[in-house]
Chain A
Amino acid sequence: MGRDETRTLIVLGSGGHTAEMLTLVKGLDHQRYKPRCYVAAVTDMLGLQKAQQAEANNDSSISPFVFKTIPRSREVGQSYISSIWTTLVAIWAAMYAVFTFNPDLVLVNGPGTCIPICLAAILLRLFHKCKIIYVESIARVNTLSLSAKILYISRAADAIMVQWPELQRQYPWAEYAGRLY
C-alpha cells in the first residue's frame, strides 16, 4: 500500500452532524483518503444509508470504503448506574472498530458518540501514527460543543476546526479555515 494513502475513519454523529460530515468527506480527495471506514451508532441506520448513497458513485475496488456500527454509550433517559456498563460496552466496541481498521486519520464532528472513538484513537497512537481532527458543527457560533470542549481542553485532537471566525476568537487553540455551507 502506497504511503500516500490515508486510512480514514469517519464518525457519523446522526442528523445534521452526519450531513455536515458527508459534505466534508465529499470535498476530500477520495484517491488519497482511502480506504474510508464510516462508523455510526447501531440505532442510526439512516446515517449509514446516507453514507452509502454518498459513496454510490465511487468504485469501491479503486476507492474502498466500509461501514461499522457501535452501540450508544447512553440512551435518552437511561439510569446512571446502567450507563456505566453501556459506556464500557461502547468503549470496547469503539476499540474494536478502531484497532481493526487501524486508521491514519479520524474525522469527528460530535456529538457524544465520537468520544469513545477518540479514546480508542488516542490509545492506537501508542502503536501507530493517527491524527484526530474535529470539525465543529456549523450550528456552533458562540460556544464549542461538549465533545469539542473535551478535545480542546485535553489537547487530544491534532486540530479543532470551527466554522465561524467569531467562535475561533473565543478559543485561540481552535482554527478557522472556512465554512462547509
Chain B
Amino acid sequence: MSGEVFVTVGTTRFEALIKAADSHAVAEALSRHGYRRLIMQIGTGTYKPQRLVPSGTCAQHPSGLEITFFDFLPTLKQQMAAADLVISHAGSGSIFEALVMRKPLIAVPNPILMHNHQAQLVEHLAGMKHCIPATVDTLSKVLSNLQLGQLQPYMSGDSRGIFSRIDDIVTC
C-alpha cells in the first residue's frame, strides 16, 4: 500500500473534524499503523491545519508522516481512489463514495448540524461493520486502536427495483 489517509469534509464546513485531525496524536497513531501520507480536504472552513502544517500547505511530521491539505477540487474521486483509509464527514455522498470503492472508512458525524440524521446513517453502517464510527473527540483514540480487519465490505444496493417501480407508477 502507498499508505495514504484521506480526510474529507465534502462540500460542507466541518472545522471541528479538521481541528481533530490536525493533532500530533493523530499523526503519531497513523504513522505507527504504517501510513505514510495524510491528505486533508478542508472545504469552506477557515481553520487551516496549523499544528501539523505550521506554514504553507504541506509539511513532514517528526513521525515521518507527510501531510498536505487543500480546500476544494471539482471531484475528489482521485484522492478517494488513492486512499488506503478515508476519514470522512458523515454526508451520504462521501460515505457511499468511499464504501462503493471498498475503502476502509472512519465516519464522523457533524454534531452541530440542525437535524442530525447523519448520526443514524453512521450508526446503521457501523452496526453492519461497514465503517468505524468516531466523533471529533474520539478520533485520535479510534485511530490508535485502529483494527481494520473487523470491517465487512459494503455490497452496493440494487437500484433496478426503484426504476422499474417508477416505470410502473407512471404507466398506471
Contacts and interface: CB of A to CB of B under 8 A. Distances in A.
A21 B147 CA distance: 35
A141 B124 contact: yes
A133 B157 contact: no
B159 A179 contact: yes
Contacts of A32: 167
B121 A180 contact: no
Contacts of B157: 163, 178-181
B63 interface: no
B91 A15 contact: yes
B162 A105 contact: no
Interface in A104-146: 104-105, 107, 131, 133, 135, 137-143, 145-146
Contacts of B123: 141
Interface stretch (B22-30, B47-55, B92-100, B138-146): B92-100
Contact of A15 (B12, B100, B120, B162): B12
Contact of B166 (A15, A19, A133): A133
A110 to B, nearest CB: 10
B169 interface: yes
B37 to A, nearest CB: 27
Contacts, number: 91
B161 A140 contact: no
A23 B12 CA distance: 20
SS of B interface (majority): helix
Contact of A180 (B12, B124, B162): B162
Interface string B113-152: 0010110110110000000000000000000000000000
Given A141-B121, A143-B120, A177 B162 contact: yes
A76 B47 CA distance: 22
Interface in B6-33: 10-12
B161 A141 contact: no
Contacts of A107: 166
Contacts of B161: 177-178
A164 interface: yes
Given A177-B165, A178-B160, A140 B96 contact: no
Contact of B11 (A46, A104, A159): A46
24 contacts: A16-B91, A20-B93, A27-B163, A28-B163, A28-B166, A105-B166, A107-B166, A135-B162, A139-B118, A139-B121, A141-B120, A142-B120, A143-B117, A158-B169, A164-B124, A166-B124, A177-B162, A177-B165, A178-B159, A178-B161, A178-B162, A179-B156, A181-B99, A181-B100
Interface of B: 10-12, 91-93, 96, 99-100, 115, 117-118, 120-121, 123-124, 156-167, 169-170
